[in-house]
Amino acid sequence: MTNTLMAYQRLYNQHISAGPFEQPAEVVQWLGAVQAQDFAGAKWALGLRMRAATDAGVEQAFTEGSILRTHVLRPTWHFVTPADIHWLLALTAPRVHALNAPYYRKLELDRDIFQRSTTALEQALQGGKQLTRDELRGVLAQAGIATAGELRMSYILMRAELDGVVCSGARRGKQFTYALLHERAPQVRHLEHDHAVAELALRFFLSRGPATVQDFARWSGLTVNDAKAGLAAVKGQLQHELVDGQSYWCSPSTPALPDRPPAAILMSIYDEYISGYKDRSAMVAPSYGAKLQALGNALTAIIVVDGQVVGTWKRTLKKDAVVVMTDIFAVLTKAQSQAVAKAIDQYAAFLQLSVLPPDASTHAIFE
């Protein structure tokens, strides 16, 4: 299997190049979880995998709660569905707590404070209330819980998310709110640990294959032993291929040579096409060297042509238009350059804005 073929197959299985979904929740369900600390970028990551999606449509799904945003898998936000949020938290929260433990101690956040903060949050949010971080800061202050410093407040709220107390509410303007999880997702699906690991493994390899067990462990936040156990439980439902001594697993319906993906794609920061893998060599040519060092943590939005990263992009929002600035560091053919322009038009259509060319006074911004 060549790197090019592997990249094509990942685009196919992630539903970027084939079979786009109709609803945001369908995308999240298929992928299991979608990294979402950059909210604007995460909405585009869903839209990229949908037919005729708009930013407003994805926002509406978030407002209604058909997709939720919480800390799960790793110490960062992800989109998840109400059907999956409870068992995903039960499976992965203990590992995130272990990673957070040094910060809990440093910030003097102990069991008593977490119990008191949970009580205060539950009382303030009950009955369908949705409050902003600043409003909850006031709630905690009234309960005698110090929240000085953004870091302390962040870890109090993250703990409440990981413990299944709160999750995302609808946005109020551009401010995020929190709501009680049991009110946003009242139907609880419980899975025993081994069953949950197997379920997550199957989702991962079907949606992101060809991938390795190391890719799965990194993405899920699970131990390598748990990742191996999850793979062992579902490998009978997967296709296996050995490449340079490394085992790759994917959906048995993955075509040997899938239809060509869109010639060019603008991908958001932290898109699962990059953040879903420990080894990204199939999509990133080593010759780019320092140009791609920032991709070590997917810390930039990328341009992909025929499955390969060829540059980066940033946006500026105007009143009725968007400016997209590109940094292309590969040599593109005329047809590929035209495809990049078409990809910019696709992104503008998602935002329901026209496209303006960049000028010297433009500065990139992200929500």
Task: Say if residue 82 is in the same domain as residue 153.
Answer: yes
SS (H, E, C) 345-366: HHHHHHHCCEEECCCCCCCCCC
175 and 71 co-located in one domain: yes
Domain count, the chain: 3
The answer on 322 and 298 residing in a single domain is: yes
Full-model pTM: 0.93
CA distance 203 to 138: 40
- Number of other CB atoms surrounding residue 8 within 10 Å: 22
Dist. CA 40–CA 42, nearest whole Å: 5
Share of the chain above pLDDT 70, in %: 92
Beta-bridge partner residues of 103: none
CATH of the domain at 211: 1.10.10.10
Axis-axis angle for helices 133-142, 150-162 (nearest 10): 90
- Residue 302's domain comprises 264-356
Q: Is residue 274 located within the same domain as residue 349?
A: yes
User: Considering only 157-171, 175-189, 249-263, 304-318, which range has the smallest mean pLDDT?
Assistant: 249-263
Residue with the bigger pLDDT between 366 and 114: it is 114
Residue 31 lies in a domain: no
Does the pLDDT value for residue 230 go beyond 90?
A: yes
